[in-house]
Amino acid sequence: MIDLADLRARPDAYKKAAKNKNLKVDIDAFLKLDEKRRALIPEVEEMRARKNEVSKQVPKLTGKEKAKAITDMKKLNETLKKKADELTALETKWQALQYELPALPLDSVPVGKDESGNVEVKRWGDPSTVLRVTPAEAKDHVALGQALDIIDLERGAKVAGARSYFLKGDGARLEQAVLRFAQDHLRKKGWTIFHPPIIATRDCFVGTGFFPGADQNNIYAVGGQMELGGPIESDNGYLIGTSEVSVCSYHKDEVLKELPKRYAGVSPCFRREAGSYGKDTHGLYRVHQFQKVEQVVLCEADTDTAMKMFEEIRTNAEEVLQALKLPYRVMTICTGDMGKGKVFMQDIETWMPSHKAYGETHSCSYLGDFQSRRLNIRYSDAGGAKKFVHTLNNTCIASPRILIPLLEIYQNKDGSVTIPEVLVPFMDGQTKISTKS
């Protein structure tokens, strides 16, 4: 949701944003509806005031005066009902169209139609030097996982369908080690760790910008209790695809006294992956269930302050990758690939030897007051004025996708996988994952 006063003042900026973000929204049509609504509101309010005044006077009248007043009030009631119904219909349409309006991207965001317009801004590490085996000897994470008996895709599919998996033994332990390392990294920097609800209401998904829009196609709805032989009753809940939904909604309808808020949500996440048929579906890259440590920031409504926070949360994720010694690059996301509510966005892509390419493992976003207006999260500035906070979020780590480069880069000639040094304490001192004799 956006600042409508700003939209009315400079509609061309929003038309440009909609065009550059590939959004089909008619700004002029919304403004006409907005103008009609604003004109109708005082008209309805004035009629309601007249009705109240007449209602007070009728008991004091007698005879013809009273009869005429009652007749006039009936006519007024009919007109008021008609106008009120018209306003209600306008309000419904006006509210729905607001959810389609885009946030304005920063001037520094590259203009592009799709991911081909994203711009690389940084690299760390050298992919050509990381392998401990020759390219001919290298196995992908699926072959490694099967040989080490730590990944089972076949039984995952048997139990839960395509794009499901079991992590077992040292595979499960390695995932937990990565998640714990990322959590501890943030905790030592003063971040508050959350284990949030993984089922959230529709209001929370609307509030964080996932509903309405294309994103909702990837969200699992949760059914309610099913009577034997009867229909499933909805619980009006949805499985989160990121703890951003729950954690950002934590302060819904509140006025905050202290900023910034640095939160880290640790949770399972679920995505239907609608529309991704045949795309990056091998192994653990694109799955329906995963674990994530998600950074969420609420800060004052100042772009310079927010962008400093953006650098902080992206750096936190980079430090985790650097500690794991995984080569990566940072991409600034273009307008056509960044989404309706984003103001600025960067992805971190980690080197995946089996892909012979970088693959997205982290996403870092600044959304201005787009979410806080929907969630009604405000703060009092130094002058006492109430303002909407600005929100940011970033993937500190997500698994099992991060296991792809971890397993492939740390594989050894004997088929074992070396555990990165920083993860050894979380593996009870174990330094390698080896095949069982």
Catalytic residue numbers read 271, 286, 360, 363, 401
Outline where 21-60 has alpha helix (H). 27-57
Rounded alpha-carbon distances, angstroms, from residue 288 to 84, 265, 350, 354: 46, 19, 20, 21
Helix-strand-coil percent breakdown of the chain, rounded to 5? 45, 20, 35
* Token output for 319: 């430090």
Of 42, 23, 327, nearest to 14 by C-alpha is 23
337: Cβ contacts below 8 Å, ≥ 6 apart? 112, 114, 115, 117, 118
Count of alpha carbons within 13 angstroms of residue 330, beta-carbon side = 18
Where would I find the H helices in 230-302?
A: 244-248
The H or E element containing residue 92 is helix 63-98
Q: Which of 224, 312, 324 is nearest to 264 (CA)?
A: 312
CA 122 – CA 99 distance, rounded (Å): 34
Mapped onto helix, strand or coil, the DSSP state of residue 390 is: strand
What span, in angstroms and rounded, lies between the C-alpha atoms of 396 and 321?
9
Say whether the peptide bond before residue 127 is cis (omega within 30 degrees of 0).
no
Strands 261-270 and 390-399: what pairing?
unpaired
